Amino acid sequence: MDNREIAARQAKAISRGIATNPQLYAKKAENAELWDVEGRRFIDFAAGIAVVNTGHRHPRVIEAVKAQLDCFTHTCQHVVPYEHSVTLAERLNRIVPGDFLKKTMFVTTGAEAIENSIKIARRATGRSAVVAFTNAFHGRTFMGMALTGKISRYKAGFGAMPGDVFHAMFPCPLHGISMEQTLQSLDLLFKSDIDPNWVAAILVEPVQGEGGFYEAPARFIRELRRICDEYGIILIADEVQTGFARTGKMFAMEYHGGVADLTAMAKGLAGGFPLAAVTGRADLMDAPDPGSIGGTYGGSPIGIAAANAVLDVIEEEQLCDRALRLGNRLKQRLEAIRSETPDIVDVRGPGFMNAIEFNDRKTGLPSPDLAAAVKNEAFVNGLLVLTCGGYGNVIRFLAPLTIQDGVLTEGLDLLERSIRKVIPG
């Protein structure tokens, strides 16, 4: 059966609200390569949106999952817990930034991790308000939508959002928003809309993911930490996309000199298996009553086994250092292309979490059309990339940190060919 036949079946069977690429249905994948049902090979610069940081089907991860399958697949952590979840929690408590006693909880998705971090913050403080930032993305659940700082696609048509959620500006000098303006918007928010003494949490991505790979300045994170300390607010870091060596550190907050009270994580944690977690100050994590957080599939024993293997691979293969090397190589190539392509207005991103942004050279305005055209041409050439950003004019690069040097070179050649075809110099 070919891709078109499956796409026709999908159109009849699956909600159109789930966005997919109907030109490609996966058959198999290995490290940074993927083959579709028609046998076409693609180089994967998406990694399931930063999920398979250790590559598709890393042997250590597959070995751990197979071993767990031979033991049990599900007991529900609330009914019969298992020792290797304790091991993983202990490991996360050690590696998540923060020089304080920590505890961890496990759920299934990044949105669940975000929602539970808000629940924990509200229970610990006795307050209800939450502050997030413009252009942020925190999930598609109702609280996740409310926290997300973008209407189009994620909120439109879904009715009233949960209350007591407020947005301040996120610093983005490329689009005319300085850090000073961001801090002023937060101050104005506290003066006009919400008493800071009623704010339970401030939620921030150290690098905006879906929002366009804009990195929060270190001073901005330190200022958020100061504000939170002043008013007794809990600072939550959304490390769902930035976590697990992607940025060249285990967590992106390590770059910023400001420590979060709670850290939400998912995606790269379990190498392709559904697992998410919240790790934070032990006193906060113990605030909820027993049974008030968690879930039937939270902390799946399969995902836990995979995650322990992922942490082993990151350490043994020194993937934080490799992310820095790969990112430098990618950005050097992108900068060389940019020097001959006026429509590329920025190359950015820490470690191997990188992006390029397109503006129309004639109007100077963001150009989602150019980004989409490059993405589509790359697909034709056998390269998978993703777009993002508030204007849809950003292409992000999230290849596995284990990508072979030769495959990376091949992918960069395909990317350059695609850009030059779509945008002549």
Domain locations in the chain as residue ranges? 3-57+318-422, 72-316
* Tens digit of each residue's pLDDT (9 = 90 or more) over 225-274: 999 999 999 999 999 999 999 999 999 999 988 899 999 999 999 999 99
Quick one: CA dihedral 13, 40, 20, 372, positive or negative? negative
Separation CA 61–CA 203 (nearest Å): 31
Q: What percent of the chain has pLDDT over 70?
A: 97
Residues in contact with 69: Cβ distance below 8 Å, sequence separation at least 6, in sequence order: 302
Helix (H, G, I), strand (E, B) or coil at 397: strand
Strands 33-36 and 41-44: antiparallel
Residue linked to tokens 């990339």: 385
Spacing of C-alpha 414 from chain mean position: 25
- Please give the backbone phi and psi of residue 65, each rounded to the nearest 5 degrees, phi first: -70, -40
Separation CA 118–CA 177 (nearest Å): 27
What does pLDDT average to over the chain? 94
Q: What is the pLDDT of residue 229?
A: 97
Q: Does the structure show a pLDDT above 70 at 155? A: no
Provide the 8-state DSSP code for 343. T
Q: Is 226 exposed, middle or buried (0-12, 13-18, 19+ CB in 10 A)?
A: exposed
Separation CA 78–CA 80 (nearest Å): 6
Q: For residues 345 and 379, is the Cβ–Cβ distance under 8 A?
A: no
Q: Which CATH superfamily is domain 3-57+318-422 in?
A: Aspartate Aminotransferase, domain 1 (3.90.1150.10)
pTM of the predicted structure, to 2 decimals: 0.96
Q: For residues 14 and 25, is the Cβ–Cβ distance under 8 A?
A: no
Burial per residue of 310-322, b for 16 or more beta-carbon CB atoms within 10 angstroms, e otherwise: bbbbbeebebbeb
* Tens digit of each residue's pLDDT (9 = 90 or more) over 30-78: 999 999 999 999 999 999 999 999 999 999 999 999 999 999 999 999 9
Q: In CATH, what number does 72-316 get? A: 3.40.640.10
Q: Is 292 exposed, middle or buried (0-12, 13-18, 19+ CB in 10 A)?
A: exposed
